[in-house]
Copies of this chain bind each other. A is one copy, B any other.
Amino acid sequence: MPLAPLGSINREAGIEAALRVWKAALGEAHVLCEPLALAAASATTFETSQRVLTILRPADRGEVQECVRIANRFRVPLYPISTGRNWGYGSRVPANDGVLLDLGRLDRILHYDERLAYVTVEPGVTQRQLHEFLLARGSKLWMDATGASPDCSIIGNTLERGFGHTPMGDHAGSACNMEVVLPTGEVIETGFGSFASSRVGAVGRAGAGPSIDGLFVQSNLGVVTRMSVWLMPAPEHFEAFFFVARRTDQLGGIVEALRPLRLDGTLRSVMHIGNDYKVLAGLQQFPWEETGGRTPLDRETMGRIRGRLGIGFWNGSGGLYGSRAQVREARRRVRRALRGKVDRLQFVDDRMFQLLRRFAGPAGWITGWDIKRTLAVLKPVYGLLRGVPTTAPMASAYWRKRTPVPAQPDPDRDRCGLLWCSPVLPLTGPDAVRVTSIAEQILLEHGFEPQTSLSLATDRSAIGVITIGYDRDTPGDDARALACYRRLTADLTSSGYPPYRLNVASMDLLARDGAVEAALRALRNALDPNGVIAPGRYQPTGPLAQTERLRSGVA
């Protein structure tokens, strides 16, 4: 039987006692209790009330196990973070009051196989670190990168099902062989790594018998302390492509044109299509002067700016990877598919990209395009399409701030308002139109710009990333933003488009059916009898179901 939940014992006393033991285990220096540090860790880009009570910084897996065992002993919940840069979804903030288990010191790249194209990393390994590691070794492998920040953890992003831009853009789908500290403190390896002396842990995911990797993604069933991540060989040739569609009604046709190219393998990577608001927020902060300080930026003003900056209503980017001939043929197919569907389609390879940069200043190479601004957006995207991490998109978190973007952006510290709502949709035109229309209507109604993009995440589905960008220093905006987010998520879910990811203030929006919830709770009780790992994370409450009744002997 599961033991008594946290609530029924003296929590404060438990934490005090646990702290002494944790300090003995990790050393005083690695148990952070300073109010400023705790306040900083409790801040994210939207309103939360959860408090970080302490931060534990174990040095290695053994210390992680110790931390977890102590947590069991004193019934104190631990919230594992890798580097804690879960921007837009809660940064470091736990799902409930609790102790952070900060895995940032586990930052080793443990193994690297150039031939089989993978690395094995710990949770503290960042995008920047892996990128530099590969460069330093003269590797011919490319990693995948998200636009979040070079300091994001690779494992942290993968465990949130983050995605990037290359053929390895589906992160959870390109990783395997986790080492997991279970909530009881024991260590397991997933997949074929669970066989002693196995040579195939990192190269095949399945394993023999049930596969449990999925249990540790977006979950609270264990602490992942290691993972193998698949890389891609640098292609012989790479080309990016960018397109612009000037009318709102072009989106459906574009999606319909691109789906066959995903399904037939011509497009092997995660394409992105952003609307005008999304692109503008990447180019500059809110145009306070032009609007006379009025928010939201209305459709009419947006249209004017769009014309002036030469951006489209819809703006797409993607990458083509292969031999010269493979890329040439992919280009021909993309061009043919998008003919008549977009107003401008540009393919850019390394040579062209250098050329563009050289001529950006003096001339402006295509009339109507503000090439300098375009390049400012294109450059980081061009890099991301090749797996190069970038700080650039971080600036867009400052969209509604009235102060300029600092040299070292930190949206948590600077009280940027940022919420991402991210529905999944079938990869069809009508679904794309429906999701983006719902988003546009609800955001404008709530006083926010509908910064919307679609990522062609898989062959059959897309993920919408709808940004609610605001300034936490504007009174009332915190509440309005969260209300907007909740309304949008609920409306999209009931329209058939559930979120692929949730923020720490909104786990209750996980509207899975009761039987699934009950089964997940049974699994949770089995693996975490004392409920010490991240209670509340991707875990709403719900009615008792048959599985639990049987289990507890009621049936």
Q: Known contacts A207-B512, A210-B219; can you find 10 more A-B pairs with CB under 8 A?
A: A188-B519, A189-B513, A192-B498, A196-B511, A208-B218, A210-B520, A232-B263, A323-B333, A529-B550, A530-B550
Contact B263 A117 (CB under 8 A): yes
| A304 close to B (CB within 8 Å) | no
Number of interface residues of A (CB under 8 A): 109
| A268 close to B (CB within 8 Å) | yes
| A22 close to B (CB within 8 Å) | no
Q: Which residues of B contact A199 (CB under 8 A)?
A: 425-426, 431, 495-497
Contact B204 A458 (CB under 8 A): yes
Interface residues of A in 180-200 (CB under 8 A from B): 182, 184-190, 192, 194-200
Q: How far is the CA of A209 from the CA of B214 in the complex (A)?
A: 9
Q: Supply 24 A–B pairs (Cβ within 8 Å), ascending by A.
A: A72-B550, A116-B428, A172-B206, A188-B516, A194-B512, A194-B513, A194-B516, A195-B512, A203-B426, A203-B458, A204-B458, A208-B538, A209-B510, A210-B221, A210-B523, A211-B214, A211-B217, A212-B520, A214-B214, A233-B260, A326-B326, A523-B523, A526-B547, A527-B547
Contact B546 A498 (CB under 8 A): no
A421 to chain B, nearest CB (A): 12
**One of B215, B235, B264, B321 near A210 (C-beta < 8 A):** B215
Q: Which residues of B contact A212 (CB under 8 A)?
A: 214-215, 519-520, 523
Q: Which of A264, A513, A545 has the most chain B CB within a 10 Å cutoff?
A: A264
Task: Report if A265-B263 is in contact (Cβ < 8 Å); known contacts: A187-B515, A198-B498, A209-B520.
Answer: no
Q: Which residues of B contact A496 (CB under 8 A)?
A: 197-200
How many chain copies does the complex carry?
A: 2
Q: Which residues of B contact A139 (CB under 8 A)?
A: none
| A136 close to B (CB within 8 Å) | no
A426 to chain B, nearest CB (A): 5
**One of B161, B182, B502, B518 near A519 (C-beta < 8 A):** B182
| A24 close to B (CB within 8 Å) | no
Contact B499 A208 (CB under 8 A): yes
Q: Which residues of B contact A214 (CB under 8 A)?
A: 210-215
| A522 close to B (CB within 8 Å) | yes
Q: How far is the CA of A325 from the CA of B493 in the complex (A)?
A: 42
Main secondary structure of the interface of A (DSSP, over half): loop
| A293 close to B (CB within 8 Å) | no
Task: Report if A498-B210 is in contact (Cβ < 8 Å); known contacts: A263-B117, A263-B232.
Answer: no
Contact A510 B116 (CB under 8 A): no
| A460 close to B (CB within 8 Å) | yes
Q: B-facing mask of A517-551, CB < 8 A → 1, else 0?
A: 01110110111011000000011000001110011
Q: Which residues of B contact A198 (CB under 8 A)?
A: 496-498
> Which B residue's beta carbon lies closest to that of A260?
B233
Contact B321 A329 (CB under 8 A): no
**One of B326, B513, B515, B530 near A329 (C-beta < 8 A):** B326
Q: How far is the CA of A204 from the CA of B296 in the complex (A)?
A: 34
**One of B235, B428, B513 near A188 (C-beta < 8 A):** B513
Q: How far is the CA of A219 from the CA of B207 in the complex (A)?
A: 12
Task: Report if A510-B208 is in contact (Cβ < 8 Å); known contacts: A186-B515, A263-B117, A424-B192.
Answer: yes
Q: Which residues of B contact A353 (CB under 8 A)?
A: none
> Which B residue's beta carbon lies closest to that of A552?
B1
**One of B1, B501, B522 near A208 (C-beta < 8 A):** B501
Q: How far is the CA of A511 from the CA of B518 in the complex (A)?
A: 31
Task: Report if A233-B185 is in contact (Cβ < 8 Å); known contacts: A161-B206, A199-B431, A203-B461.
Answer: no
Q: Which 9 pairs between the two chains have the least Cβ-Cβ distance?
A: A211-B214, A199-B496, A526-B526, A203-B460, A204-B461, A210-B219, A209-B538, A195-B498, A194-B516
Q: How far is the CA of A216 from the CA of B206 in the complex (A)?
A: 12
| A253 close to B (CB within 8 Å) | no
**One of B210, B233, B501 near A263 (C-beta < 8 A):** B233
Interface residues of A in 249-283 (CB under 8 A from B): 259-260, 263-266, 268
A516 to chain B, nearest CB (A): 4
| A303 close to B (CB within 8 Å) | no
| A46 close to B (CB within 8 Å) | no
Q: Which residues of B contact A425 (CB under 8 A)?
A: 199-200
| A119 close to B (CB within 8 Å) | no
Q: How far is the CA of A185 from the CA of B519 in the complex (A)?
A: 12
